[in-house]
Structure 1
């Protein structure tokens, strides 16, 4: 279970993970925030820091948008990711979930290519994790997807300087 902090009415919520605190951007609707929390809860708990206060001096991931590519065949998760990245600026992240196993190779290669071609805002693949869930862990909205393996990606646009 991820630990969520509500800082104030005008601040995004924070999810504390061992590697990065994860902020949910204010542009996300309440239903999108709830969906993201449920999906991140599927990630292994061994890398979640529940015992320490948020250290804002560490790098943070600010999730601005989400791509739900579950149930979509290749290349649709990657194409939706490319479109969604247009609204993400340097320092912000995009959360992508997919069920097509090919999406893992596609998204990894796409992010690696952005680093190799010295793009204006190279893409850092901060989280690349597959989870297998049993049907009891999924909410009613998630259970409509027949595939139990979900591929999670958090892609961050970085500053090229």
Structure 2
């Protein structure tokens, strides 16, 4: 199955694709995390001809368990590898990441950046406690999909 032909349909009518160079492990991890957002998740072998905006996830930043300011710093570093029109999927467990990442995206738009950032997804999920102590578990996860937009 080609990485480019794996769309995930979100309840907000976004269609999310994985870039070809996103590793299989990162694709699987991203799918599991995106499923937490609720609604039906569709993974297909064939590209879907849909009119809603398409997001192409180029990189995954897993900031779970990291304290402020590490999720934002990892986001800034990862954005160096994201081109205009591509997206970065960020997950974090630090509540401060909500304000930090949202402010960072707003600031990129206000400063006239060459590639302003659009915060396409900004959602919070809550999970019930897990009895399996061998697996790291986080009750609250903050999800962000940041898209570099073309300034033209």
Flag whether TM exceeds 0.5 (same fold): yes
Instruction: Report the counterpart of residue 139 of structure 2 in structure 1.
Output: 148
Contact 2:89/2:143 (8 A) holds in 1: yes
How big is the shift at 1:44? 2.5
Unmatched runs of 5 consecutive residues or more in structure 2: none
Structure 1 CA distance for aligned equivalents of residues 133 and 81 of structure 2: 29
Q: Which residue of 1 aligns with 2:9?
A: 16
SS in 1 for 2:4: coil
Question: Matched residue of 1:11: which SS?
Answer: helix
Provide the rounded CA distance (Å) in 2 between the counterparts of 1:57 and 1:153. 22
- Could you say if the C-alpha distance between residues 10 and 25 of structure 1 is closer, same or farther in structure 2, counting changes exceeding 3 Å? closer
Tell me the equivalent position of 1:108. 102
CA deviations on 1:99-133 (whole Å, 9 max, x unpaired) are 00000000000000001111000000000001001
Aligned twin of 1:3? none
- Contact kept? 2:61, 2:88, Cα under 8 Å: yes
Which of 87, 99, 102 in structure 1 is aligned with 2:81?
Answer: 87
Matches of 2:143 and 2:34, distance apart in 1: 8
Runs of 5+ consecutive residues of structure 1 not aligned to the other structure = 1-7
Q: CA RMSD in A?
A: 2.4
SS at match of 1:44: coil
2:85, 2:149 within 8 Å by CA — same for their partners in 1? Answer: yes
SS of 1:150's equivalent?
Answer: strand
2:25 maps to: 31
**Number of corresponding residues:** 147
